Structure 1
Amino acid sequence: MLVAVISRSHFNGLESLRVGRFQKKINTSCIVYRLGDLVVDAGPPNQWKYVQRFLKERAISRLLITHHHEDHCGNGAKIGKHFNCPVHAHPAAHKDLEQGFAVQWYRRMVWGKPERFKAEDFQPQNMTSQSGDFSLQPLHSPGHSPDMTCFIEPQRGWLFSGDVYVASRPRFLTEDENPGQEIESLRNLLKQDFQTLFCSHKGMVENGPAAIKSKLEYLLELQGEAQRLYQTGLASREISRQLLGKEEFLSLLSRGHFNKVNMIRALVHDCPVSQLHHR
Structure 2
Amino acid sequence: MTQQRYTGRVALVTGAGSGIGQATALRLAREGARVVGCDVDAAGLEATAKLLAAERYEADLLNADITVQGDVERVVAAPPGGFVDLLANVAGIMDYFLPVGELDDETWDRVIAVNLTGPMRLCRAVVPIMRTNGEGAIVNVSSIGGLTGSVAGTAYVSAKHGLIGLTRSLAYLYGPEGIRTNAVCPGGVRTNIGRTAFPKSDWAFRRFEQSFDRESRTAEPDEIAALVAWLGSAEARNVNGAVITSDGGWTA
TM-score with structure 1 setting the length: 0.34
Greater helix share, structure number: 2
Structure of greater relative contact order (alpha carbons < 8 Å, 6+ residues apart): 2
TM-score computed with the length of structure 2 as normaliser:
0.36
Point out the structure with max Rg over C-alpha.
Answer: 1
Query: As a proportion of its length, which structure holds more strand?
Result: 1
